[in-house]
Amino acid sequence: MNRLTTTLKVPGMTCGNCARHVGDALRGISGVASAECFVEMRSVKVEWTKGVLPDESRLLSTLKEAGYSSIVAQATAAQKPSWFDAGGWGVNIIVGVAATLPMLIAEWFLGLGADRRYSIVAFGLATVVQVVCGFRFYQGAWIQLRSGNSNMDTLVCLGSTAAYLFSVWGLFAGWHGHSYFMDGAVIITLISIGHFLEARVSIRAESSLRALLNLAPDRARRLGAGGEETEVLVSQLNTGDLLVLRAGDRVPTDSEVLEGHSMVNEATLTGEALPVEKSAGSKVFGGTINESGRLVVRVIALGEETALAQIIQIVRRAQSSRAHIQRLGDRISNVFVPVVIAIALFTAFWWGFFHHQARAVSEFFAVFLWAPHFPESALASAVYHSIAVLIIACPCAMGLATPIAIMAGTNAAARRGILIRDGVALEKSGRITTILFDKTGTLTQGKLVVSGIRVSPDYPKNIPTAEHLAGAIARNSNHPLSKAVAAHSKTNLDLHQFQETRGSGLTAFFKNENQNHEVRLGSIEWILESQPFPDWMTPFLQEHTSRGATVLALGVDGRVIALFALMDALKPRAVETLLELTKASYPLHLVTGDHPQTALALAAQLGIPPHCIHARMRPEGKAELIVKLQVQGERVAFVGDGCNDAPALEQSDLGIAITHASDAAKESADILLLNSDIETIPEALRLAQATLRTIKQNLFWAFFYNAAAIPLAMLGFLSPMLSAVAMGLSDLIIIANALRLRSTKRTSKR
């Protein structure tokens, strides 16, 4: 059963902090698998656990308790948000700039700040800004207040409202001092510009994902029963339909090739520009390009079940996820606003009742800094400087620090065929001390061939040949070793009671001369069950294991009657990749179910020392090895192809799955490499670590900025307007620092 989703409209979700509150509230509901918030669309998409029916009433009541009104969105065609709108902040910018620009000109260039006629005009313009542009801030602050919380909207509202109300009081009370209508309006306008930029980054990230979806065409050529071709909408296709792909066509949806031979460019999914050969039995994926040849394919997946949709879902989930390091910022933000309000009240009290002392302290520091601006009276100073504290301390940069870096890092990785599951995976990558590699399908190509066969001197004459018997039992398994044996000898012997023992081999029975015989294909030790090795096996084992071959035994009734040597070549650049990881100071281990001599031969080619080789490992044994290393204090990354590797991937501190687009939904791995080559592993680790480093830099800058700026505002060195500018600049610095991840140097390929 597919997972069901519910989309909610949340009008009061106006910033990243609101989105985190909404997401946390919904994820706490039993049965909710994930909740993705889209601030620019003011909506949240809830995915329910498999088998759980949607319960919209629980979602709505939970959000109401959290202070947010919401409605269930109707299923409509997705609308692309306009460049200008950016979640509604564009309107704020137009109205805000149109109102504040005349006030800036009047005060800065015409010197009318204390003129009563100007104050009347400024009152009208500022009122428009407060009502139209300030509505979203007041709404956000009220929602937080109702739920007993506070956020940056609270500080913005307090600061701009204090400036506005003080100026209104001065205007109607006949006060002849300077009014602060312009300052209150500029605060809202500048912070709206900051929100606009943040929303634009989110829209750009979402647009890049939407562009991936648009890669798949909306029409396909359906092949009828009589061989006729009909062009239909992809939305009209059903699983099992036959399609025709001509040279140059984009594949409309995930399908299996039935006829033809071609080269398909899968760069949109894997990041690998080299085309992949496709023939009968191969899979092709929506959005990829059929470069040559005609293919007849059968539809195997549609809509959200396609590889492309799964990839996009993983990237979206990662972008909306939270790293553990973000909890530090959240904890600080939760107490930050009340502390800032207390500091602002202290500042107002200090400048209002101890004006001369406060001014003297400020003038003392002015010798080392710059000349501050002092309002005419103690009351004006109290209001002016406390407003500056409220504005400069807005924790917007803290809220942006982590999600903007995760968004940029996961997008950059996805374009290279690297899927990072969530923010926690980024943190794990920065603490890895040891890397374990599975062998088959990970370090090797996974395309095994039978390179040698040795039959027992006393092979029973009353049973089929070794090739036929081994091929018949092997064709029941999807394990790479079994596939190689089955491909070597295609046969249709009648076997029954088939059973696969994970990590050991295959068992079946066949009847001959009214007698049932047990047949086994697998490891020698498993078949012999502690019996001594027959002498005839030793030369064959020594010869082939020294070359790095894997040797399987064929047994009948507990006796080995034949040996099969299987060779699997190393993947291209496997040696260079492991050397690069070694130079980066990562100890490397090889884990395999193969014979120790086979493992030693392979490790010698890869440069892995003998003491880091772990042979004859069953799937559960790999997980136990990881536990042993973790007990020793190691933080372990496990690299596997997903075949029987789920326990190890789950147990490891960082699971890296070498997979293909069709397996993008693997749940055990933290990082998925859609390109089956391992050369992207160093790049994946570097990019993940660069993202983590950027998060730390952003958090440091946000904390340092507030720690340095609040005292300056208290002493009068930052005006409310300059505080708003500085706060906006801090957001820009954090956004620019995060976007550097998009240009992280790619691994060169030879």
Instruction: Yes or no: say if 382 and 351 are a contact pair by the CB < 8 Å rule.
Output: yes
Q: How far apart are the C-alpha atoms of 396 and 151, rounded to whole Å?
A: 9
Q: List the one residue out of 609, 615, 617 whose CA is nearest residue 582.
A: 609
For residue 650, count CB atoms less than 10 angstroms from its CB and return exposed for 0-12, middle for 13-18, buried for 19 or more: middle
Phi, psi (deg, nearest 5) at residue 165: -65, -35
Q: What whole-number distance in Å separates Cα of residue 744 and Cα of residue 420? A: 16
Residues sharing a CB contact under 8 Å with residue 266, sequence separation 6 or more, in sequence order: 272, 275, 276, 285, 288, 661
Using CA atoms, how far apart are residues 528 and 522, in angstroms rounded to an integer?
10
Q: How many CB atoms lie within 10 A of CB 516?
A: 11
Instruction: Report the DSSP pairing between strands 515-522 and 505-512.
Output: antiparallel
At 294 the three-state DSSP class reads coil
SS (H, E, C) 162-183: HHHHHHHHHHHHCCCCCCCHHH
Q: Report the distance separating Cα 744 and Cα 683, nearest Å.
A: 10
For tokens 């200090």, what's the residue? 350
Q: Which of 438, 568, 645, 670 is catalytic?
A: 438
Kindly give the residue spans of alpha helices, DSSP state H, lying in 129-238.
135-146, 152-173, 181-213
Instruction: Please tell me whether residue 574 adopts helix, strand or coil conformation.
Output: helix
Residue with tokens 């301390």: 393
Cβ-Cβ contacts under 8 Å for 325 (sequence gap 6 or more) = 402, 427, 692, 695, 696, 699
Q: How many CA atoms lie within 13 A of 477 on its CB side?
A: 29
Strand partners, 45: 7, 36
Cβ-based neighbour number of residue 300 at 10 Å: 17
Please state the three-class secondary structure of 70-95 as a single string. Answer: CEECCCCCCCCCCCCCHHHHHHHHHH
Which residues contact residue 400 at a Cβ distance below 8 angstroms, ignoring those fewer than 6 apart?
16, 198, 698, 702, 731, 734, 735
Strand (E) or helix (H) holding 656: strand 654-658
Greatest alpha-carbon pair distance for the chain in Å reads 117
Please identify which residue in the block is written with the tokens 């923010």: 423
Distance CA 237, CA 522 (A): 43
* SS3 state at 511: strand
- Helix ranges, 632-672 (H): 646-651
> Helix 152-173 vs helix 135-146: angle between axes, to the nearest 10 degrees?
120
Active-site residue, 85 included: no
Q: How far apart are CA 641 and CA 659, in angstroms?
A: 6
How far separated are the first and last CA of the chain, in Å rounded?
Answer: 44
Instruction: Name, in order, each residue with C-beta under 8 angstroms of 698's C-beta and a sequence gap of 6 or more.
Output: 397, 400, 401, 402, 404, 405, 734, 737, 738
**Contact status, residue 693 vs residue 427, Cβ threshold 8 Å:** no
CA distance 8 to 44: 5
Tell how strand 43-48 and strand 32-38 pair up: antiparallel
Element (H, E) at 714: helix 680-714
Residues with catalytic function: 438
